[in-house]
């Protein structure tokens, strides 16, 4: 049984800085981008932060893996909340929590307080969920893949600029300056969201309980699990890289924080290119083929890096150069996989975005923590590359599963739930 209440629709054409129309694409980019920036701006500072708090690298690395795990929990809640109460109020509330948590990180007296505030920062992950749900509120599956690709392409500027900016700020003013930058940017995004984001959810659930009870409908969908697991494993290669690359750069390649910041730009540069290609070609090529191309591209980049290390490579390009292919593959895979998971049950777009996002970052949190636990002096970059390769091969297997379902199941629904 479906529970919906009628809501008077707004104008479907976005008008910038008009709260009576859907949000502009720039607003959606920044909503998603701040979550990515919060994840990686301080990565070049991780070794110095461990020294500041007097703790092991494996503990301070929880600022990445713990953040992603909490992001998964948050996304499980954000989807149903936005399906019940609307996209706009949920996004504004989460941004406010993010700002308070960021101040807590800056003034934290010890590692325990810092980690607690860092977990609260995960509320900003609502931007990842809701930017995608808003897109699916307005357009069809193939168009959603293209629009999500363009949004993610713009969002990719954040991880490209973030570590570079973070490394420079850390060298000039210490690691706290990274969190001050997050606070300022978060305040700007909150102001823009308040002024520009009109409501797009016009078929809200009659109760929050009814929305959570709709989850089994997603759980029963083989197609949803196929797309979600493909996206989770594909993104896991990137998250593992985030968790282990700072250690490899410091202990194996001998890079300074500002140098690491520059080299980190390789991955989002490829990611941005992949999302551009998704935006340009997904509606013509089809989301399943684009996902397959992305999984293969990421695997190629990881194998290439391992081959260069085995050949005796010691330059930063040995790790970060092939990572361009990992970013490119993720750009192709993630936008199309996300569009596929949201389109399985269009009337549950918010819940699907939250659940798929939770699976993605939950798996990413595990994969991001593995390099920190496995990397040891004398082992080089091989534990990191091994984790990345395992995740990428799993993404190929789940892609084949998705393509098998596509040949043996009805087409994706456009506007209403249909059985698989």
> 274: domain CATH number?
1.20.1250.20
Q: Which two tokens stand for residue 347?
A: 């009337």
What is the spatial distance between Cα 258 and Cα 194, in angstroms, rounded to a whole number? 35
For residue 365, tell me if it sits in a domain: yes
Question: Could you tell me which residues come within 8 angstroms of residue 186 by beta carbon, excluding any fewer than 6 positions away?
Answer: 34, 95, 98, 99, 102, 124
For residue 357, tell me if it sits in a domain: yes
Distances (CA, A) of 42 to 3, 135, 170, 323: 44, 30, 8, 19
For residue 5, tell me if it sits in a domain: no
Question: Could you tell me which residues come within 8 angstroms of residue 293 by beta carbon, excluding any fewer than 6 positions away?
Answer: 329, 332
For residue 413, tell me if it sits in a domain: no
Specify the DSSP element, H or E, that contains 203: strand 203-204
For residue 232, tell me if it sits in a domain: yes
Name the β-bridge partners of 203. Answer: 6
The tens-digit pLDDT sequence of the chain (420 residues) is 443 433 334 445 666 666 677 777 788 888 888 887 887 788 778 878 888 888 877 788 778 777 877 877 777 777 777 777 777 888 888 899 899 999 998 898 888 888 889 988 888 877 777 777 777 666 655 566 666 666 766 666 676 677 778 878 887 888 888 889 999 999 999 999 888 887 766 666 655 665 566 667 777 778 888 888 888 888 888 878 877 888 788 778 887 777 776 787 777 778 878 877 877 777 778 888 889 999 999 999 999 999 998 888 788 888 888 988 998 898 888 878 877 777 666 566 666 666 777 777 777 667 767 776 777 777 778 888 888 899 899 999 999 988 888 777 665 554 333 333
Q: Which two tokens stand for residue 187?
A: 């305040």
Question: Could you tell me which residues come within 8 angstroms of residue 304 by beta carbon, excluding any fewer than 6 positions away?
Answer: 322, 325
What is the spatial distance between Cα 418 and Cα 306, in angstroms, rounded to a whole number? 45
Q: Give the angle subtended at the CA of 266 by the CAs of 171 and 98, to the nearest 5°.
A: 60
Burial (CB < 10 A; 0-12, 13-18, 19+), residue 107, is exposed
Contact 407, 92 (CB under 8 A): no
Structural domains of the chain, count: 1
Domain that holds residue 375: 19-408
Contact 352, 340 (CB under 8 A): no
For residue 12, tell me if it sits in a domain: no
For residue 3, tell me if it sits in a domain: no
For residue 203, tell me if it sits in a domain: yes
């Amino acid at each position: 049984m479906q529970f919906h209440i009628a809501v008077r629709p707004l104008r479907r054409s976005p008008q910038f800085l008009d709260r009576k129309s859907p949000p502009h694409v720039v607003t959606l980019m920044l909503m998603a981008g701040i979550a990515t920036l919060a994840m990686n701006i301080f990565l070049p500072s991780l070794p110095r932060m461990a020294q500041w708090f007097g703790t092991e690298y494996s503990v301070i690395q929880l600022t990445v893996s713990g953040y992603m795990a909490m992001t998964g929990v948050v996304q499980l809640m954000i989807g149903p909340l936005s399906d019940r109460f609307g996209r706009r109020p949920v996004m504004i509330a989460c941004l406010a929590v993010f700002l308070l948590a960021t101040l807590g990180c800056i003034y934290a007296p010890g590692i325990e307080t810092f980690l607690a505030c860092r977990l609260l920062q995960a509320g900003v992950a609502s931007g990842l969920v809701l930017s995608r749900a808003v897109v699916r509120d307005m357009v069809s599956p193939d168009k959603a893949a293209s629009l999500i690709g363009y949004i993610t392409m713009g969002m990719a500027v954040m991880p490209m600029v973030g570590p570079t900016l973070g490394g420079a700020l850390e060298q000039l003013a210490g690691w706290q300056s990274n969190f001050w930058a997050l606070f300022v940017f978060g305040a700007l995004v909150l102001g823009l969201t308040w002024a520009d984001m009109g409501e797009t959810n016009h078929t809200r659930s009659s109760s929050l309980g009814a929305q959570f009870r709709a989850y089994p409908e997603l759980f029963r969908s083989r197609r949803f699990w196929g797309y979600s697991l493909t996206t989770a494993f594909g993104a896991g290669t990137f998250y593992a890289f985030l968790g282990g690359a700072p250690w490899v750069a410091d202990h194996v390649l001998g890079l300074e924080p500002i140098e690491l910041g520059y080299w980190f730009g390789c991955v989002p540069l490829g990611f941005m290119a992949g999302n551009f290609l998704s935006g340009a070609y997904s509606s013509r090529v089809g989301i399943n083929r684009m996902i397959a191309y992305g999984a293969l591209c990421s695997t190629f980049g990881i194998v290439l890096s391992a081959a260069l290390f085995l050949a005796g490579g010691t330059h930063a390009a040995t790790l970060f150069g092939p990572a361009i292919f990992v970013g490119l593959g993720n750009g192709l895979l993630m936008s199309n996989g996300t569009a596929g998971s949201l389109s399985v049950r269009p009337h549950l777009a918010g819940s699907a975005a939250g659940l798929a996002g939770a699976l993605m970052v939950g798996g990413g949190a595990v994969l991001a923590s593995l390099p920190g636990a496995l990397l040891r002096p004398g082992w080089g970059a091989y534990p990191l590359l091994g984790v990345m390769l395992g995740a990428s091969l799993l993404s190929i297997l789940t892609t084949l599963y998705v393509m098998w379902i596509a040949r043996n199941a009805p087409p994706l629904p456009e506007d209403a739930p249909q059985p698989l």
